[in-house]
Chains A and B, each alone.
Chain A
Amino acid sequence: MLTRHSTRNITRPAKATKDWLKERITALALIPLTVWFACFLARLPATSARELPEWLSRPLHSLPLLAFIFISAYHAELGLHAVMDDYVHGPRIKGCGLLVIRLALLGVLLLSAIALFSLYQTH
């Protein structure tokens, strides 16, 4: 019999369906953003440390980057959740893992947004 303890951190079917759909919707949005981000990375070595903050201070550049970071982080949360579902079985350690992942990704979002906003303000 499934006890309350053993069902903790097992995804409910209705939520699983929603997560499945969210993973696909974020994946679709990430296709063009990935190409943008890959080209951004590829051009970093030729961009000087003085040029880059200036370039990123323009919303035309920072907004696509922020969109990539936000949607990637959301997509990563869904993906890492699925990986945890498959390999991590203790309910307590899984709960801790999910919390760590969520906090780390939330930190990624907040700190990136703050950094980009301050570049926007200082340039």
Chain B
Amino acid sequence: MRPRPLSPHLQVYRLPLTAMLSISHRITGVMLSLGLLAIPALLLMMVLAPKGFALVQAGLVSLPGKSALWLWIYALYFHACHGIRHLVWDSLRGLDKRHLQRHNLIELGLSVFLTIGTFLLTDGRSLSSGSSP
């Protein structure tokens, strides 16, 4: 018996942008779930080991710390933007090829725009300056 055909051959198939965004949505979703674990860790440190927390806070000011923080922020915005895309798809809109291509660019553009906007509005401002973040 001939072996059954295998599909899809991901290694020889160039993924369209829509598919790349789709898998990125999954990957960022899993990464963000892992990031969620960091929140109680930091909060507990604040309560139980303020000195240790001061070290972590100092790390956030360093370049690797800031980079990690901004990657986290970009992942949040990207996942949110593609999530909104899913909500649009759920309403049976934007499923044809022309819209897919355009919405891909809108989605990417919006996630970059939100990240840069957040940077411009918050850079150098501590949480205590002003009532809400």
Contact pick for A46, options B26, B58, B124, CB 8 Å:
B124
CA distance A9 to B133 in the complex (A): 41
Q: Does A14 sit at the interface, judged by CB under 8 A?
A: no
* Chain A interface helix/strand/loop/mixed: helix
Chain B residues with Cβ below 8 Å from A112 are 39-40, 43
Interface size class of chain A, counting residues whose CB lies under 8 Å from the partner chain? 35 or more
Chain B residues with Cβ below 8 Å from A60 are 131-132
Given A34-B80, A73-B36, decide whether A42 and B124 contact each other with a Cβ distance below 8 A.
no
Beta-carbon contact of B50 and A49 below 8 Å: yes
Beta-carbon contact of A42 and B69 below 8 Å: yes
Given A37-B76, A43-B125, decide whether A108 and B40 contact each other with a Cβ distance below 8 A.
yes
Beta-carbon contact of A116 and B127 below 8 Å: no
Q: Which of B81-133 touch A at CB < 8 Å?
A: 83-84, 86-87, 90, 114, 118-119, 121-128, 131-133
Interface membership of chain A positions 80-117, coded 1 if the CB is closer than 8 angstroms to chain B and 0 otherwise = 10010000000000000000000011011001101110
Interface membership of chain B positions 11-48, coded 1 if the CB is closer than 8 angstroms to chain A and 0 otherwise = 00000000000000010011011001101100110110
Chain A residues with Cβ below 8 Å from B26 are 83
Chain B residues with Cβ below 8 Å from A30 are 80, 83
Beta-carbon contact of B118 and A39 below 8 Å: yes
Count A-B contacts at CB 8 Å: 138
Interface size class of chain B, counting residues whose CB lies under 8 Å from the partner chain? 35 or more
Q: Does A28 sit at the interface, judged by CB under 8 A?
A: yes
Contact pick for B69, options A41, A76, A79, A80, CB 8 Å:
A41
CA distance A43 to B36 in the complex (A): 18
Beta-carbon contact of B43 and A83 below 8 Å: no
Closest to A113 in B: B40
Chain B residues with Cβ below 8 Å from A46 are 123-127
In the assembled complex, 6 residue pairs joining A and B whose CB atoms fall closer than 8 Å, in A order, are A40-B127, A43-B126, A49-B57, A56-B43, A115-B43, A119-B46
Give me the interface of A with B, judged by CB distance under 8 Å: 24, 27-28, 30-31, 34-49, 51-56, 60-61, 69, 72-73, 76, 79-80, 83, 104-105, 107-108, 111-112, 114-116, 118-119, 122
